[in-house]
């Protein structure tokens, strides 16, 4: 199915060098609406958020009342208190990304390479990857919670088979949170890798075989490096939302050793009404992600990816 | 997967005693990956299956424990208060934000690929930023902004927020398509007396449709399933994921499962239909 | 096939093409000058071929004529009208692109109709049918380009351009993708169409044989400039630079110094490593000092054993036959003469295969009248493709 | 997020032109029919009043709900609800901040049916801005099969054999209140920071050690049902409801050291243009028979006098249920968490959230 | 260039290639039989060319030899060892792919080193340098394939295969992307390498001229079967089917009936629309009934005005010259003889351009000895490319 194929494309697409053109200002007409939108609804709000991160409480004011200031100490305080959650977020996001890669790559490989030329099968498998998007992800997460519950089949069976110590459990653990993250962002890993693999010329694999490379060697020396753009795109698309997620942590974790920064930001924002702290944590999170992503993209040599 | 098995079978056709051990290894190698992938698909679909199964649960106040099979929920999917309203809202938000984001994003994508201008790099970065911003941050920033502007929260603000995070995905998707489009085609159109406007509508646009459709699909699924940003920017406006999240605290009505299952089946059906139609058409063409 | 072409010629915009004039046209990409001060006139209704190595600026020239690229300097006139500033879609010019550039989402018929619809022509349907018949693809009008073979696609591209009856048709390697056989056939086709419809064709090609078979006038381009321009026979028989001599067919070139001028007989005596070779003065670019003496391989014959040269023939050698290639129609010999290098000799297989074997000692003889003289300052192998140079 | 907005004032009342009323409530907090498809009492109200009522189960957490609407409230904007139902302390904050509209009691004759104990509260002395919706206890609940001995004190909850299967509420006042009571501190009294932090220390220790599996809101009932939790700090009505489906599997008790009592209060937010319609609705639910109908379904303490009598007609057994119609003896064992100052509230809330890992 | 090839020959795995034997090899894709019961022996160290129209099964055959495709039936032996079931990476065979299939993520040098590293060869670096020098790309070792021109890419593909010194090298249209000039040059190169290194080459091509210049043995394939096999000169001079006659170069074929057998002189008399044409009986596929009489264009000459045929020549005509194409080396004439069709005549431009103009009346003469006779039941134009047929 071309739609889903292109959908994969999306994220792995490496733009070709743009042709030189006479400037006819046409680009302003094309870009204008979109960029103005982004400025209005992204740049300005994020700017405001930045400002908020420096606010101080109104002296003697009620809960949630703040006034403009340049109180950089907010950042120090916020980090001093919440750095464990921040680090944990990146750690969980990293684990989820690796897990999604390990699970998602074979899926993408089977869809793109093994099912090559079988359009119906390919389309079906692709839609099976995307379709969970259409069943609310909260429902799915809750379903996981029920499936992995202490009294449910999986845990009982594992206890019975002694795969799990008798007092161990699966829900409300870091494991549950990471697997929830992995699960929920898996399609974002599969699609770009699929797109990259689909573009892989099967003749290159034959060339590898012709040049004495065994299937495993061919994979290592040809398939894997050529799917790198997809892998990079996929890892970014999993890592970024996972690092900022709070739904999985609050539904599947909810303990101090699973607290993620998203939960903290949400709680500071909505429950404590501590806007400056929430804002400064947001800014820190955003900057940290940008720095990590920038370094990663540069290292993997796929700058023109995005 | 049948493809793989077929091929494995094919390769073992010719007999030769020396090859036996090698053949075995090969068959193993050919099978491991698909089996692993199949397990991954199971992993991906188990909760979906759970959701579908519990849409048939004869549930009471909560839908946590299996109480018995019933078709009632499917016969009366709007039975639970608010569920259909939330679903309709989600559809509405999804469609409207998809339309806007797709239109804006497509234009930006064309400009970014086809033109070289000063500030192109910054424009690219601006597109990438919302994608790399965690949803909590986006939601929080937007909410603050809407409050400052005293915009009443509701449909409008939700759409505005969804358009924001969809645009980036649309741009990236369409960009890949535009980049793979041969610029010579537009030149050929110009050469054949088509004005720039005509060249766009008659050549560029039709060729971008698959990319645009993919982008729209992606945008719709992102919007339809979004909870975090929606939660910040919706005020009292309820979308389907928000409804599910809120009702999750006490028990999600089975009707929510019905609607989710329905969407899942619908997505499958559409793809199969598109495939079958496309197959029939190509067959007809080949037949001629 | 000929019956349908009437629709194409019977056009109101005037049968026959427009003359094309380039005046001092230059195109620079940044620092790089792709086309350098090009001045050129293509008479109306003629078949003009632009020939040159890869990257010499042929496509760029065509794109400027089509209006897809603006010249950095100079003017382009079409039928006497300056079109330099006119945009592509407003020029009565059509191009058959190197890559066809067929619209993949349109059927063959719709592709061909595209230009007609844009120019609001009447009888679009009838003209599309005629155009497709012209290239013998009438029965495939409903297919999509992806369902055609390369050769068929190329013909659709041709029909799409021809059907508009442009004053000027630009062909950018329109036959590059075809195998030799089909290519020759299409060449005859194209030539026929051009003659029948009377359009002005500017044809770009890598293939010198193609240029020579088809064109009235051939221009050989190199590094953005035109090296020589003339009828195919003129260019072939009397190249004026080593580049042209080598690029257009093969040449045997050998360095020498003019030592005598036999003014009465109109000949120059050239000393080639001790052997005197005669060159008609009228066929020499310079008449003194260092020259390159040249002759085409098919003009040369092998003198084996005690065979003697005829009257009015130059002789070189003896040398040794180092290679014999049977080409079917002809046999190619390589003869190495110590100190002078390797010479190619073609012999038509009028009486079957090779007559001389490798290792035979032989001299080379050829008519003085077909000898040409070039500037000795040029490299002997300029224009002969060097393996490292074609990027 | 600027200075307190005094500009916020009641919106113009459009009740006469638009016959609608919009009500935000907690989930499963209004009687439903057998199929769970409609609210009989609300339907009756619509028929009777001619108003179209929109009922949204949009509240799952006081803080979260307030956090989402506070910006609009500060601006005096319509938040999309004409009635919101929030717990005492949050109601106190709403009223203190001027985010609620004054009720015209003359239009609400039934309002006088309010239980005397609830008629005067410190945050709304004459009930001019709020009316109680339901009240309930926080106490201990457990799975009878797996905790055969039952729970009597909070220390029972900390028994080693329950490790990892215990959950407590994310509602600070309930969880902290029970711990403080266990430590001999009356949360209704004038306790100090050190009392609070001493209690918090206990909580922290139990969470960090993994004894407490999760800290949850309403969703703890799901964990009881699925077996992830077998002993919890929970709310009275929930357990009654849960038992309907789980064959009386669970039991609820107020700890010997005492439990907490809380109430949820209906208020009309500033910016709502349908004050009169909202008053009509509140008035309706203060009719004893309607109140009994609701109580019979939600199983919480009804604030309406005469409801117990009305309940006799519906379900005599329920009329005797002390969790719906508590006896004085029970009432003497529970206390209401005292109102906190803004400063205390921010500090305690922040610390509490940090400890529970949200 | 020659100095570096020593590394390639000095290989321990044995200079010289392995013989390839196909025995009843068949490949069916579903219902479609792409290769049909092919039996073939390519002697060790020879240069074997496989020639045939698009889709005739050349690539499929090569892929089966390389191990990239399993034959449906039959066996493949290499150097006497049955390799039918061996997997591609275990066969001492390398392929230069029609599409190059260079690894885009590796540099030129890494591409060339790929096979060596896999087979754990020693001196990889040195051998890569040698290999690249062999194709004169030593200076581009650090580029990525995308930064090379088509011709350079093709040479990298060649080097990548050659450097492994495989027992058998398969070349699938390895020169398809090169322009005529470069192509000829690479042909000489390839041939030189093959001779020097002594490998066995199987070369697939569309281009009959290429096949003939390079190969020791040429097989003409059609519809999955081999039509004729032999040395280039043999195939060219004495085609046994109309397909071969037309596919390999041009042929003038005309239908006739055997009317006489001049057994003593070893000739057949054939009646061609009233004209008697003589055919050597040994050069005829059948000696009675309907036959096709053929002769190559370069064997024919024009008799204009009162010119007379020589002894032992057949004559046809008169007809009218309808086209004259100057090809540089030679001139091609088309002569239409009423009732017999159009004949092509090549004349080497031994003395300059065309000697006969369009419209001239001329007869055709050619030596009886170079006439061949085919089965009259075959279509005259079998194997001549028809414009509508190449999909
Ligand atoms: N957009 C461009 N920017 C920079 N250089 C360019 C551009 N287009 C063409 N060139 C350069 O200009 C020169 C002429 O290019 P052109 O395409 O005209 O060559 P050509 O003669 O058509 O070659 P070919 O036979 O390979 O098609 C080349 O060296 C090319 O690299
Ligand atoms: N995988 C396949 N499935 C079905 N048919 C195939 C397949 N591969 C090749 N064919 C068919 O087999 C025939 C021979 O193909 P092959 O590639 O060998 O042709 P070829 O002689 O190499 O042609 P070309 O000169 O165009 O490369 C063609 O008709 C082709 O359509
Ligand atoms: Mg070009
Ligand atoms: Mg092929």
Helix (H), strand (E), coil (C) string for E354-387: CCCCCCCEEEEEEEHHHCEEEECCCCCCCCCCCC
CB E73, CB E242: distance < 8 Å: no
In a 10 Å sphere around its CB, with 0-12 CB exposed, 13-18 middle and 19+ buried, how is residue D342 labelled? middle
Query: Per residue in C282-331, pLDDT tens?
Result: 888 888 889 999 998 988 988 888 888 888 889 987 899 988 888 777 88
Phi-psi region of E336 (alpha: psi -120 to 50; beta: other; left: phi over 0): beta
pLDDT, position D86: 92
Q: Which chain A residue has the Cα nearest residue E68?
A: A206
Q: Name the residue with the closest Cα to ligand 1, atom 19.
A: C55
Q: Which chain A residue has the Cα nearest residue E119?
A: A212
| Residue C200 pLDDT exceeds 60 | yes
Q: Is the Cβ pair B188, C105 closer than 8 Å?
A: no
Mean pLDDT, residues A255-261 taken together: 78
pLDDT, position C9: 31
Q: Does residue A2 fall inside a structural domain?
A: yes
Q: Is the Cβ pair E115, A225 closer than 8 Å?
A: no
| Of the ranges A104-113, B51-60, E207-216, the best mean pLDDT one | A104-113
Nearest to D225 by CA among B59, C153, E359: B59
CB E353, CB E331: distance < 8 Å: yes
The ligand 1 site (C-beta within 6 Å) comprises A 20; C 29, 32, 34, 52, 54-60, 206
Residues sharing a CB contact under 8 Å with residue E39, sequence separation 6 or more, in sequence order:
E22, E23, E24, E25, E74
CB E374, CB E242: distance < 8 Å: yes
Domains assigned to chain C: 2-92+166-237 (3.40.50.300), 252-378 (2.40.50.140)
Alpha carbons B54 and A142: distance in angstroms, whole number: 12
Write out the two tokens for D202. 């206990």
* Residues of C with Cβ-Cβ distance to B187 under 8 angstroms: 66, 68, 88, 97, 101
pLDDT, position A13: 38
Alpha carbons B230 and D327: distance in angstroms, whole number: 44
* Residues of E with Cβ-Cβ distance to A218 under 8 angstroms: 89
- C:160-189 residues touching chain B, CB 8 A cutoff: 160-161, 164
The answer, yes or no, to whether any atom of ligand 2 lies below 6 A from the CB of E34, is yes
Nearest to E366 by CA among E321, E323, E310: E310
Q: Does residue A245 fall inside a structural domain?
A: yes
The CA distances from residue E77 to E15, E35, E184, E199, in Å, are 19, 17, 32, 16
Task: Tell whether A160 lies on the interface with E, counting CB pairs under 8 A.
Answer: no
H or E element that contains C347: strand C341-348
Helix (H), strand (E), coil (C) string for chain D: CCCCCCCCCCCCCCCCCCCEEEEEEECCCCCCCCCCCCCHHHHHHHHHHCCEEEEEEEECCHHHHHHHHHHHHHHCCCCCCCEEEEEHHHHHHHHHCCCECCCCHHHCHHHHHECHHHHCECCECCCCCCEEEEEEEEEEEEECCCCCCCCCCHHHHCCHHHCCCEEEECCHHHHHHHHHHHCCCCCCCCCCHHHHHHHHHHHHHHHHCCCEEEEECCCHHHHHHHCCCCEEEEEHHHHHHHHHHCCCCEEEECCCCCEEEEEEEEECECCCCCHHHHHHHHHHHCCHHHHHHHHHHHCCECCECCHHHHHHHHCHHHHCCCCCCCCHHHHHHEECCCCCCHHHHHHHHHHHHHHHCC
E58, E70, E210, E391: residue to mutate for ligand 2 pocket, most atoms within 8 A of CB = E58
Q: Name the residue with the closest Cα to ligand 1, atom 24.
A: C54
Strand partners, D75: none
- Say if residue A47 is in the same domain as residue A166: no
- Say if residue A42 is in the same domain as residue A169: no
Query: Per residue in B196-253, pLDDT tens?
Result: 888 888 888 888 887 788 788 888 888 888 888 888 888 778 888 888 887 776 667 7
- Say if residue A167 is in the same domain as residue A288: yes
A111: domain CATH number?
1.10.3720.10
Average pLDDT, chain E: 82
Buried b (16+ CB within 10 A) or exposed e, B218-253: bbbbbbbbbbbbbbbbbbbbbbbbbbbbbbbbbbbb
The CA distances from residue C156 to B185, C99, C107, C164, D164, in Å, are 14, 12, 10, 13, 75
Confidence of residue C11 (pLDDT cuts 50, 70, 90): very low
Total domains in chain A come to 2
Which DSSP state fits A24?
-
Q: Is the Cβ pair A147, B46 closer than 8 Å?
A: yes
- Ligand 3 centre from C54 Cα, in Å? 7
pLDDT, position E352: 64
Q: Does residue A156 fall inside a structural domain?
A: yes
- Chains D and C make contact, 3+ CB pairs within 8 Å: no
Who surrounds ion ligand 4 at CB < 5 A? Answer: E 59
Lookup result for tokens 């089996």: B35
- Say if residue A22 is in the same domain as residue A161: no
Q: Does residue A62 fall inside a structural domain?
A: no
Q: Name the residue with the closest Cα to ligand 2, atom 22.
A: E59
C213 backbone dihedrals φ, ψ, rounded to 5°: -65, -40
E34, E63, E173, E390: residue to mutate for ligand 2 pocket, most atoms within 8 A of CB = E34
* Residues of E with Cβ-Cβ distance to A230 under 8 angstroms: none
D153 backbone dihedrals φ, ψ, rounded to 5°: -130, 170
Q: Does residue A185 fall inside a structural domain?
A: yes
Q: Does residue A57 fall inside a structural domain?
A: no
Strand partners, E41: E21
A106 backbone dihedrals φ, ψ, rounded to 5°: -60, -35
Q: Does residue A297 fall inside a structural domain?
A: yes
| Residue B17 pLDDT exceeds 60 | no
| Residue A99 pLDDT exceeds 90 | yes
> Each residue's pLDDT tens digit in chain D (358 positions)?
333 344 445 667 777 777 888 898 887 788 887 766 678 888 888 888 888 888 887 787 888 888 888 888 888 888 888 999 999 888 988 898 888 888 888 888 888 888 887 888 888 888 888 999 998 888 999 988 888 888 888 888 888 888 888 889 888 888 999 899 888 888 888 888 888 999 999 888 888 888 888 888 777 888 888 788 889 998 888 888 788 777 788 888 888 888 888 889 999 998 888 888 888 898 999 888 888 888 888 888 888 888 888 888 888 888 888 888 888 888 888 888 888 888 888 888 888 888 887 6
pTM score, whole prediction = 0.78
Alpha carbons A284 and A274: distance in angstroms, whole number: 16
H or E element that contains B36: helix B20-54
Sequence-ordered strand ranges (E) for chain E? 20-29, 32-42, 47-51, 73-78, 81-82, 93-96, 168-172, 200-205, 217-222, 225-230, 252-262, 267-272, 275-280, 290-295, 301-304, 313-326, 330-337, 341-348, 361-367, 372-375
Chains adjacent to D (≥3 CB pairs closer than 8 angstroms): A, B
- Say if residue A15 is in the same domain as residue A132: no
Alpha carbons D60 and D65: distance in angstroms, whole number: 7
Average pLDDT, chain B: 76
pLDDT, position E176: 65
Alpha carbons D98 and C137: distance in angstroms, whole number: 82
Task: Tell whether E84 lies on the interface with B, counting CB pairs under 8 A.
Answer: yes
Alpha carbons C221 and C35: distance in angstroms, whole number: 10
Query: Per residue in C224-269, pLDDT tens?
Result: 889 999 988 888 888 999 888 888 888 899 989 999 888 888 889 9
- Say if residue A107 is in the same domain as residue A198: yes
The length of chain C, given as a count of residues: 391
CA angle C115, C116, C121 (to 5 degrees): 150
The CA distances from residue E110 to A13, E104, E148, in Å, are 25, 10, 15
Beta-carbon pairs below 8 A across chains A and B: 338
H or E element that contains C342: strand C341-348
Chains adjacent to B (≥3 CB pairs closer than 8 angstroms): A, C, D, E
pLDDT, position E53: 80
- Say if residue A246 is in the same domain as residue A156: yes
Q: How far away is chain E from the Cα of A126, in angstroms, using its nearest Cα?
A: 27
Residues sharing a CB contact under 8 Å with residue E361, sequence separation 6 or more, in sequence order:
E304, E318, E319, E320, E321
Query: Per residue in A169-222, pLDDT tens?
Result: 777 788 888 888 888 888 888 888 888 888 787 788 888 888 888 888 888 888
Lookup result for tokens 């195109």: C27
Q: Name the residue with the closest Cα to ligand 1, atom 25.
A: C54
- Say if residue A35 is in the same domain as residue A149: no
Write the residue in A65, A264, A271 that is nearest to D67 by C-beta.
Answer: A271
- Say if residue A194 is in the same domain as residue A284: yes
Domains assigned to chain B: 81-252 (1.10.3720.10)
Alpha carbons C101 and C160: distance in angstroms, whole number: 11
- Say if residue A232 is in the same domain as residue A273: yes
- B:190-209 residues touching chain C, CB 8 A cutoff: 190-196, 198-199, 202-203, 206-207
- Chains A and D make contact, 3+ CB pairs within 8 Å: yes
Query: Per residue in B24-50, pLDDT tens?
Result: 344 556 778 888 888 888 888 888 888
Q: Does residue A42 fall inside a structural domain?
A: yes
H or E element that contains C28: strand C20-29
- Say if residue A178 is in the same domain as residue A285: yes
How many percent of chain C have pLDDT more than 90?
Answer: 11
Q: Is the Cβ pair A214, E160 closer than 8 Å?
A: no
Average pLDDT, chain A: 78
Q: Choose, out of E13, E88, E131, E173, the residue to mutate when testing the contact with A (most A CBs < 10 Å).
A: E88
Helix (H/G/I), strand (E/B), else coil: B153 = coil
Atom of ligand 1 lying closest to residue C53 CA: 25
Alpha carbons E17 and E165: distance in angstroms, whole number: 9
The residues of chain E scoring below 70 in pLDDT are 1-16, 149-151, 176-182, 351-354, 383-391
Owning domain of residue A48: 1-52
- Say if residue A11 is in the same domain as residue A79: no
CB E334, CB E344: distance < 8 Å: yes
Alpha carbons D326 and D240: distance in angstroms, whole number: 14
CB B16, CB E82: distance < 8 Å: yes
H or E element that contains E232: helix E232-237
Q: Is the Cβ pair C385, E181 closer than 8 Å?
A: yes
């Amino acid at each position: 199915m071309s739609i889903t194929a292109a959908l994969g494309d999306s994220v792995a697409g490496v733009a070709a060098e743009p042709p030189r053109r006479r400037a006819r200002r046409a680009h302003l007409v094309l870009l204008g609406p979109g960029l103005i939108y982004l400025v209005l609804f992204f740049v300005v709000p994020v700017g405001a958020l930045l400002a908020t991160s420096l606010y101080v409480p109104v002296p003697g004011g009620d809960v949630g009342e703040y006034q403009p200031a340049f109180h950089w100490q907010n950042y120090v305080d916020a980090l001093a208190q919440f750095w464990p959650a921040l680090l944990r977020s990146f750690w969980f996001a990293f684990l989820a990304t690796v897990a999604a890669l390990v699970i998602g790559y074979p899926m993408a490989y089977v869809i793109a390479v093994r099912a090559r030329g079988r359009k119906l099968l390919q389309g079906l498998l692709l839609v099976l990857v995307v379709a969970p998007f259409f069943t609310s992800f909260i429902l799915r997460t809750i379903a996981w919670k029920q499936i992995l519950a202490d009294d449910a089949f999986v845990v009982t069976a594992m206890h019975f088979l002694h795969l799990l110590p008798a007092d161990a459990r699966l829900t409300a653990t870091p494991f549950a949170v990471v697997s929830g993250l992995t699960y929920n962002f898996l399609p974002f890993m599969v699609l770009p890798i699929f797109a990259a693999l689909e573009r892989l010329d099967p003749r290159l694999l034959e060339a590898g075989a012709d040049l004495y490379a065994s299937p495993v060697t061919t994979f290592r020396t040809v398939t894997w490096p050529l799917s790198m753009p997809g892998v990079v795109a996929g890892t970014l698309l999993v890592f970024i939302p996972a690092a900022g997620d709070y739904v999985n942590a609050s539904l599947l974790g909810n303990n101090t050793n699973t607290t993620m920064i998203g939960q903290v930001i949400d709680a500071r924002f909505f429950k404590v009404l501590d806007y400056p702290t929430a804002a400064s944590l947001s800014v820190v999170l955003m900057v940290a992600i940008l720095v990590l992503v920038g370094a990663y993209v540069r290292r993997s040599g796929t700058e023109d990816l995005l | 997967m049948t493809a793989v098995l077929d091929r494995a079978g094919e390769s073992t056709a010719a007999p030769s005693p020396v090859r036996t051990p090698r053949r075995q290894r090969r068959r193993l190698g050919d099978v491991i990956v698909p089996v692993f992938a199949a397990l991954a698909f199971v992993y991906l679909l188990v909760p979906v299956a759970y959701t579908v199964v519990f849409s048939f649960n004869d549930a009471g106040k909560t839908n946590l424990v299996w109480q018995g099979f019933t078709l009632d929920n499917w016969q009366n999917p709007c039975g639970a208060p608010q569920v259909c309203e939330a679903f309709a809202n989600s559809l509405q938000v999804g469609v409207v934000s998809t339309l806007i984001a797709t239109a804006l994003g497509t234009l930006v994508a064309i400009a970014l690929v086809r033109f070289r201008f000063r500030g192109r790099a910054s424009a690219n970065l601006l597109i990438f930023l919302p994608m790399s911003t965690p949803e909590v941050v986006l939601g929080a920033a937007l909410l603050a902004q809407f409050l400052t502007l005293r915009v009443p929260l509701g449909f409008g603000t939700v759409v505005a927020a969804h358009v924001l995070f969809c645009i980036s995905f649309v741009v990236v998707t369409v960009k890949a398509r535009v980049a793979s489009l041969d610029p010579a085609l537009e030149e050929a159109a110009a050469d054949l007396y088509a004005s720039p406007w005509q060249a766009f509508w008659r050549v560029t646009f039709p060729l971008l449709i698959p990319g645009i459709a993919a982008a729209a699909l992606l945008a719709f699924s992102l919007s339809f399933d979004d909870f975090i940003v929606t939660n910040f920017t919706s005020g009292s406006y309820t979308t389907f994921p928000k409804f599910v999240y809120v009702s999750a605290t006490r028990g999600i009505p089975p009707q929510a499962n019905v609607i989710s299952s329905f969407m899942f089946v619908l997505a499958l059906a559409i793809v199969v239909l598109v495939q079958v139609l496309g197959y029939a058409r190509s067959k007809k063409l080949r037949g001629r | 096939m000929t019956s349908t072409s009437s629709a194409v010629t019977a056009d109101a915009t005037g049968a026959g093409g427009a003359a094309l004039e380039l005046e001092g046209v230059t195109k620079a990409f940044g620092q790089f000058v792709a086309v350098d001060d090009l001045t050129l006139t293509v008479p109306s209704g003629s078949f003009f071929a632009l020939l040159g190595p890869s990257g010499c600026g042929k496509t760029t020239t065509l794109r400027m004529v089509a209006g897809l690229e603006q010249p950095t300097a100079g003017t382009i006139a079409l039928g006497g009208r300056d079109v330099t500033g006119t945009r592509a879609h407003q020029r009565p010019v059509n191009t058959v692109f190197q890559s066809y550039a067929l619209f993949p989402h349109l059927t063959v018929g719709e592709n061909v109709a595209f230009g007609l619809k844009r120019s609001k022509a009447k009888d679009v349907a009838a003209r599309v049918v005629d155009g497709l018949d012209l290239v013998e693809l009438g029965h495939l009008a409903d297919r999509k380009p992806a369902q055609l073979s390369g050769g068929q696609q190329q013909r659709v591209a041709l029909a799409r351009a021809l059907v508009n009856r442009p004053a000027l048709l630009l062909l950018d390697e329109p036959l590059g993708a075809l195998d030799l056989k089909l290519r020759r056939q299409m060449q005859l086709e194209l030539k026929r169409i051009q003659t029948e419809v009377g359009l002005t064709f500017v044809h770009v090609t890598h293939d010198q044989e193609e240029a020579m078979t088809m064109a009235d006038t051939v221009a050989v381009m190199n590094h953005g400039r035109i090296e020589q321009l003339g009828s195919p026979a003129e260019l072939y028989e009397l190249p004026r630079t080593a580049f042209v001599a080598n690029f257009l067919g093969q040449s045997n070139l050998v360095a020498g110094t003019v030592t005598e001028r036999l003014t009465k007989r109109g000949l120059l005596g050239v000393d080639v490593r001790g052997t005197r070779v005669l060159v008609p003065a009228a066929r020499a670019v310079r008449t003194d000092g260092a020259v390159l003496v040249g002759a085409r391989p098919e003009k040369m014959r092998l003198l084996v054993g005690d065979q003697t040269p005829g009257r009015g023939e130059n002789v070189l050698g003896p040398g040794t036959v180092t290679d014999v290639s049977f080409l079917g129609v002809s046999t190619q010999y390589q003869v190495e003469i110590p100190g002078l290098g390797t010479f190619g000799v073609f012999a038509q297989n009028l009486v079957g295969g090779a007559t001389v074997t490798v290792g035979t000692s032989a001299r080379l003889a050829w008519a003085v009248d077909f000898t040409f003289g070039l500037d000795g300052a040029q490299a002997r192998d300029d224009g002969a493709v060097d393996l490292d140079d074609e990027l | 997020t600027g200075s307190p907005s005094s500009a916020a004032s009641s919106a113009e009342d459009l009740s006469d032109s638009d016959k609608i009323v919009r009500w935000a409530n907690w989930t499963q907090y209004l009687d439903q029919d057998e199929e769970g498809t409609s609210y009989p009492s609300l339907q009756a109200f619509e028929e009777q009043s001619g108003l179209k009522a929109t009922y949204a189960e949009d509240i799952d957490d006081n803080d979260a709900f307030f956090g989402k609407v506070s910006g609009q409230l500060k601006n005096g904007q319509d938040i999309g609800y004409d009635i919101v139902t929030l717990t005492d302390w949050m109601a106190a904050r709403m009223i203190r901040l001027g985010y609620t509209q004054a009720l015209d009691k003359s239009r609400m004759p039934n309002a006088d049916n309010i239980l005397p104990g609830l008629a005067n509260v410190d945050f709304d002395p004459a009930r001019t801005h709020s009316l109680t919706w339901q009240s309930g206890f926080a106490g201990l609940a457990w799975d009878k099969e797996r905790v055969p001995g039952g729970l009597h004190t909070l220390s029972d909850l900390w028994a080693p054999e329950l490790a990892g299967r215990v959950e407590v509420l994310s509602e600070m006042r309930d969880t902290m209140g029970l711990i403080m009571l266990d430590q001999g501190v009356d949360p209704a009294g004038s306790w100090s920071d050190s009392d609070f932090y001493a209690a918090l220390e206990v909580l922290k220790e139990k969470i960090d050690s993994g004894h407490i599996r999760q800290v949850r809101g309403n969703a703890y009932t799901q964990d009881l049902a699925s077996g992830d939790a077998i002993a919890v700090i929970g709310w009275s009505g929930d357990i009654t409801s849960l038992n309907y489906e789980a064959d009386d599997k669970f039991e609820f008790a107020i700890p010997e050291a005492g439990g907490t009592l809380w109430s949820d209060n209906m208020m009309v937010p500033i910016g709502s243009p349908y004050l009169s319609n909202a008053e009509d609705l509140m008035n309706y639910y203060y009719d004893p028979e309607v109140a009994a109908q609701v109580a019979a379904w939600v199983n919480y303490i009804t604030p309406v006098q005469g409801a117990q009598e009305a309940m006799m007609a519906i379900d005599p057994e329920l009329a005797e249920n002390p969790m719906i119609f508590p006896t004085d003896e029970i009432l003497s064992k529970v206390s209401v968490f005292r109102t906190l100052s803004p400063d205390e509230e921010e500090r305690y809330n922040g610390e509490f959230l940090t400890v529970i890992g949200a």
